Structure 1
Amino acid sequence: MRKLALEDEILLQLDKPERYIGNEWNSVMKDPSSVDIRFAMCFPDVYEIGMSHLGIQILYDMFNRMPDVWCERVYSPWPDLDKIMRERHIPLFLLESQEPVKKADFLGITLQYEMCYTNILQILDLSGIALLASDRDRDDPIVIGGGPCTYNPEPIADFFDLFYIGEGETVYPRLLDLYRSWKKSGRGRADFLRQAAAVPGIYVPSLYRVSYQEDGTLASFVPAAENVPTKVKKQIVMDFDGIPYPEKPVVPFIKATQDRVVMEIQRGCIRGCRFCQAGMVYRPLREKRVERLKKLAARMLANTGYEEISLTSLSSSDYLELDELLTYLIDICKPRGINISLPSLRIDSFSLSVMSKVQDVKKSSLTFAPEAGTQRMRDVINKGLTEEDIRKGAGQAFRGGWNKVKLYFMLGLPGETEEDIRGIAQLCETLAEDYYDIPKEERNGRVAITASTSFFVPKPFTPFQWASMNREQEFLDKAHLVKDTVRGMLNQKSIRYTYHDAGVSVLEGVLARGDRRISGVILQAYRNGALFDAWTEHYRADAWEEAFRYCGLDPYFYTARERSTEELLPWDFIDTGVSRKFLEREWERAKKGIVTPNCRQQCSGCGCTQFQGGVCLEEKLSGRKNSQSSVSGG
């Protein structure tokens, strides 16, 4: 019988002991003596958040299909267990085997959100692994990072041996083969890192040298050894139907944040929202065939017992076979009372027929993201939505029986004016008026509109990567202006307004666009007690302020200044397939408020057709000749 790493006496002291016992439905158990490689897959946040992450489920399934690899999971211990583990010197352990993380060959850390960076140090610290990669020896696990934050890995470069740039289904087999050979050779850790640097998509920070100008900007970023690539190219899956997908996802004992079956219907996006990193770095759009999705849905529901299935993508309503897929899901879900969730819907392409199908199963609030309150600002960010689109889509929803609508906006966008800020409240008021203009017999009680604003954070590999970011007080002043404007509206009782933490957003901006010097700030903040920074009740601004002072760095150097397109950026060594020339062109079009058509309307020459042999996938899907292939390089 498997022995738990924590004694009963400790488990009884914890808020949710189920986070730490493992053995969940569909978790994979193997004999450690029968495998060559043990891979610890880590999400650096609490169990409920990590168990909701699709990427880990995909990689967990992929690795465990390999007969000589055992992939296990580990998450950040909540502060109650963290305290006990430090006091009693209990090493951090893997859920499946309940053995120490340090027994693994690899520690793979998913980098989903910058505000989890101090949790990475918690994981290393509790595991007994040196925090700095330069201090590790041959017996330590290889610490590798993957996920969206790797598109600027420099702020955490000192803590990682490797980064995997791109989609995980591609070059891991080659990397693991390399590791097997190295492990048998008896050679040193540095030898493996040098060999790994030759694997496409693998970035080894220790093999690059960085220098700075007197003004603090980057002067150079160059390889420090032979056969180390100047550019690290993103890895991408093009055979999207052929890759493995977890038909038996692990089902937690406690309710996770996303307590449902999650089915990825497509990857990438045809839209060109200028603030959206995912929309740029996950290009081009790749769809799963509807027949494949039907089989997956049936198997995943049968293997989990969930009461909801979510169709996930960056823009679900752009999936070409959505109607056929929904018809099938209604047929199998309705008799069993299973809800169908459609996140990431665009209000302009959301049809009444789709809504009426879904509401037959279970009705809940609808969520849309206009992102900006005025047409001028939506053109600046290239949202591709008109006010007519928004009002028409909301009107269809209201007549379809919905009376709860959530709207997401951003404050602090480049070129924003007071009129744009007030426009958020005014758009909500317009939708409320439209609702009450509908005859009573055609609507469902009172309308409830929730408007939520996040604060704009410029991200690498977007046209806004050069933009300045507001300071904390500027963000708060803008949020208060929206709040005051809502209070002056006739339908204020039907409108609820919330906004994010401004201080956290500024720190996110530093971590998103920082350079390698920020590693020292993160380390010092962790030593000052910073942990679970993504959680409002645990975020400690003082720990971070002291860390910046200790390291002699100004956070506003990384956020408040607009960057020149001539400046060398910390992430310029990565090739995402989307050309810098395209991003610069989009930055200029944003300043002029010029809209760029989406990929199905016109190829904009972003450069990503290099992954398709110069063929524009969207034109191929639409049955059109590729008349734009000559501009594929951007």
Structure 2
Amino acid sequence: MKVEKPARYVGGELNSVMKDPGEVEVNFALGFADTYEVGMSHLGINILYEVINALPGVWAQRVFCPWTDMISVLRESGEPLRSLEGGMPLCDFDIVGINLSYEMCYSNVLAMLDLGRLPMLARDRGDGDPVVIGGGACTVNPEPVADFFDLFVLGEGEEVTRELCLLFARHKKEGFSRAAFLREAAKLEGVYVPSFYEPVYNTDGTIREVAVRQEGAPPVVKKRIVENFDAEQTIKKPVLPYINTVHDRCTLEIMRGCPRGCRFCQAGFAMRPVRERRADTVRAAARSVIAATGYDEISLSSLSSGDYSQVDELVGGLVREFSDQRVSVSLPSLRIDSFEKDLAAELQRVRKTGLTFAPEAGSQRLRDVINKNISQDEIIATVVRAFESGVSSVKLYFMIGLPTETMEDLDGIADMVKSIREAFYSVPKEKRRGFLNITVSASCFVPKACTPFMWEAQDTVETLGQKQQYLRGKLKIKGVKFNYHDAATSFLEAVLARGDRRLAPALLMAYRNGAVMDAWYEFFSLERYMEAFRACGIDPAFYANRERAAGEVMPFEHLDCRIGKAFLRRERDRAYEGVTTQECRKQCHACGLQDICGLAKKQVNR
């Protein structure tokens, strides 16, 4: 009675995995540094839950960051944070794995470790404490939180997580030594043990080198790639939550990687190469998930679903198979230039839904800079096809603060919205349905590791705010709703995205001063972090608002995302020349993954 949504904490959901504790050799806490509703919607967590629990003698139990009311209850009662399946305190697990999906969740990581009664700093843990593992999108540069983790998994987690579990089981049987386990784990491809490395700084605060301090540790840690993606385990029987989650549906991964090369997009580069699942594999997974859950929507997930080579066959087959059960099919990541009228009609057969597109920039010049490779004519032709198929609700995603952006580029966003509105009313009345609703969302550009724009300076908070208000005035149009992301939050995200280990004491201080749930606007306080930065002698603008020299050593220089730095720099140069780069499945640009891409092509052809 003391907390909102107690179903977040009780467990016992349909399809949750229960094992006999007496037969378990390795207890694995599968953690997510956000709320239950967000974590249960995360594809990676759902995949790893089934992957780990398929291992004999290994039990993966879920744990999520409690909401602020439950944090208070735990602190007042003295109760530790526990897992959902077995009710085990976090400190009693062998391994605690936490997904790092977003930089603004770092304070939640500290809350989970603290509430779970683990030493928050890795150097303070002994042989009897859990091994704390980090994984997920932020491991492209995990340096700001390196002090809190024993090791990180770089890249894709299925294969390497199995290997780590088996390695831990062997060490546990032999009498566990944390140091010995970490030395052997560091030999696995994709495993990064941060205590084995030490950044060395220049007098100006930049990094001179990242020195190896442990004999036998690799000088560069390469991310792990699942090469035979179609053969890798899929979700078959996901846990069915008691309460609504962010994505309350059957989510199936159809493709990894993206061939497009949008220059601001970390996922588009870090998740290369492009690999597909066969349509038959996806349909079999859909049958299993729908039978196990009763969901009424199948979402086909990837970074660019329209680039999936069998999209028409897959969507048509799923619609025909599941329409009698009133199960709809959605493609949440459609590019404008991959949208066809026939595909729109298929998607609308069971349930009428709006469509979401991401032009990202309002002018053709800026779309060329970011390598979006779509024209204004393509955008208008696409929305007309959508309107003719019965769509009357459109969401448009843009980004402000992009390199070389001018106020004329912001004017282009408003002009595009007006053109789309005109296009709706140009469709004959008998073909269009309802009233037009356009939602325009503008995020703030954040320079990220492993992208051509990782050298760029971010606009200041003040400049971003001015651009937001300018665009807000331009979009006061009937039927148009404008949303924009908090500039202060994006500033801290930029600090953490390219930060180094000197940020860890400030993160810890901010947490102890009340920072938690920073991804939620109502709890975020930039001033709390600014106070911590001042106390630790850190200038956050050094990380966010400073352009990097071409030869500067990055904090993540020793972590190889398998994309060549020279290639990324060439792409940055092409951006400033306004030259686009063709998608990599049509022409190889030697990004560094040519050999694996060749293997991926063979798998798709089979």
If the TM-score is normalised by the length of the shorter chain, which range does it land in? over 0.9
Aligned to 1:542: 527
| Letter of the structure 2 residue corresponding to residue 199 of structure 1 | L
Deviation digits for residues 184-215 of structure 1 (CA, Å, limit 9, x no counterpart): 33353222212211111111111111111111
SS at match of 2:215: coil
Question: C-alpha separation between the residues in 1 aligned to 2:568 and 2:604?
Answer: 25
**Residue in 1 that maps onto 2:363:** 374
Cα offset, 1:364, TM superposition: 1.2
Q: Report the CA distance between 1:176 and its aligned residue.
A: 2.2
> 1:53 is matched with which residue: 42, 57, 75?
42
Counterpart among 495, 499, 504 of residue 484 in structure 2: 499
3-state SS of paired residue (2:184): helix
Give, in whole Å, the separation in 2 of the partners of 1:622 and 1:250. 33
Aligned match of 1:516: 501
What is aligned with 1:188? 177
Q: Is 1:216 the equivalent of 2:201?
A: no
Could you tell me how far 1:617 is from its partner in structure 2?
4.4
d(CA) in 2 for partners of 1:191 and 1:455?
44
1:436 positional shift: 1.4
- Rounded Cα–Cα distance in structure 2 between residues aligned with 1:267 and 1:620: 13
Query: Residues 486 and 465 from structure 1, CA distance in 2 versus in 1: closer, same or farther, beyond 3 angstroms?
Result: same
Match of 2:135 among 146, 151, 155: 146
Show the counterpart of 1:585: 570
TM-score, scaled to structure 1: 0.94
Structure 1 SS opposite 2:282: helix
CA contact 1:600–1:619 (8 Å) conserved in 2: no
Q: 1:631 aligns to what?
A: none
Q: Is the 8 A contact 1:609 1:617 kept in 2?
A: no
Distance 2:317 2:166 in 1: 41
- Between stretches 123-132 and 186-195, larger displacement belongs to 186-195
Give me the whole-angstrom Cα distance separating, in 2, the residues matched to 1:378 and 1:53.
30
- TM-score norm. by structure 2 comes to 0.98
How far does the alpha carbon of each residue in 1:517-558 deviate from its partner, in whole angstroms, 9 at most, with x for none?
Answer: 111111011011010000011112221111111111111100
Partner of 1:435: 424
Q: How far apart, CA to CA, are the structure 1 residues paired with 2:84 and 2:43?
A: 18
Aligned residue in 2 for 1:9 = none
Q: Which residue of structure 1 lines up, in the alignment, with residue 460 of structure 2?
A: 471
- Write the distance in 2 (CA, Å) between the matches of 1:22 and 1:531: 23
Aligned position for 2:584: 599
Contact 1:577–1:610 at 8 Å: present in 2 too? no
Query: 2:291 pairs with 302, 306, 309, which one?
Result: 302
Moved over 3 A (4+): 616-623
Q: Distance in 2 between matches of 1:182 and 1:28?
A: 25
Task: Tell me if the contact between 1:449 and 1:495 (Cα under 8 Å) persists in the aligned partners.
Answer: yes
What's 1:227 paired with?
216
| Higher relative contact order, chain-length normalized (CA < 8 Å, sep 6+) | 2
Tell me whether 1:14 sits opposite 2:3 in the alignment. yes
- Tell me if the contact between 1:155 and 1:515 (Cα under 8 Å) persists in the aligned partners: yes
Identity among equivalent positions (%) equals 48
Which residue identity does 1:197 align to in structure 2?
A: A
* 1:459–1:246 CA distance, 2 compared to 1 (3 A): same
| 1:15-51 superposed Cα distances (whole Å, 9 cap, x missing partner) | 1110111010100000111011010000011100010
Aligned amino acid, residue 97 of structure 2:
G
Match of 2:469 in 1: 480
Of stretches 404-413 and 319-328 in structure 1, the one that deviates more from structure 2 is 319-328
2:392 aligns to what? 403
Match of 1:573 among 547, 558, 566: 558
The 10-residue stretch of structure 1 (270-279 or 434-443) with the greater mean CA deviation from structure 2: 434-443
For residues 103-152 of structure 1, give each alpha carbon's deviation from its aligned partner in whole angstroms, at most 9, with x where no partner exists. 11000000000000000000000011001000011111000000010010
How far off is 1:86 after superposition?
A: 0.5
Distance 1:330 1:542 in 2: 50
Rounded Cα–Cα distance in structure 2 between residues aligned with 1:274 and 1:622: 28
Contact 1:41/1:71 (CA < 8 Å) preserved in 2? yes
Residue deviations 1:255-305 (CA, integer Å, cap 9, x gap): 111000000011111111001111101111110011111111111101101
Moved more, 23-32 or 443-452: 443-452
- The one-letter amino acid paired with 1:440 is K
- 1:251 partnered with 2:240: yes
Cα distance, 1:622 vs. partner? 7.7
C-alpha distance in 2 between matches for 1:51 and 1:188: 33
Gaps of 5+ in 1: 1-11, 624-634
1:546-601 Cα offsets, whole Å, 9 max, x none, are: 11111111111001111011000011111222111110100100111100000132
Question: Against the structure 1 CA distance between its residues 355 and 175, is the aligned structure 2 distance closer, same or farther, given a 3 Å change threshold?
Answer: same
Distance in 2 of aligned mates of 1:165 and 1:30: 29
Q: Is the 8 A contact 1:60 1:71 kept in 2?
A: yes
Contact kept in structure 2, 1:92 and 1:101, CA below 8 Å: yes
Letter matched to residue 341 of structure 2 = L
1:61 maps to amino acid: E
Preserved contact between residue 492 and residue 526 of structure 2 (Cα < 8 Å): no
The alignment partner of 1:73 has SS state of: strand
Computed over aligned residues only, the root mean square deviation of the Cα atoms, in angstroms, reads 1.3
Equivalent pairs, count: 606
CA gap 1:37/1:594 in 2 versus in 1, 3 angstroms: same
Q: Residue 591 of structure 2 aligns to which amino acid in structure 1?
A: C
What residue identity is the alignment partner of 1:34?
Answer: E
The C-alpha deviation readout for 1:427-475, integer Å capped at 9, x for no partner, is: 1011111111222222123211111100000110000000110111100
Counterpart residue identity of residue 497, structure 2? A
In structure 2, the gaps of 5 or more residues are: none
Q: Are 1:599 and 1:618, in contact at CA under 8 Å, matched by a contact in 2?
A: no
Instruction: Report the Cα offset of residue 620 of structure 1.
Output: 8.5
Partner of 1:38: 27
2:415 corresponds, among 413, 423, 426, to 426
**Residues of 1 paired with 2:191 and 2:442: CA distance?**
36
- Asked if the contact 1:356–1:400 (Cα under 8 Å) also holds between the matched residues in 2, the reply is yes
| SS of structure 2 residue aligned to 1:343 | coil
| Distance in 2 (alpha carbons) for counterparts of 1:563 and 1:618 | 36
1:66 aligns to what SS in structure 2?
coil
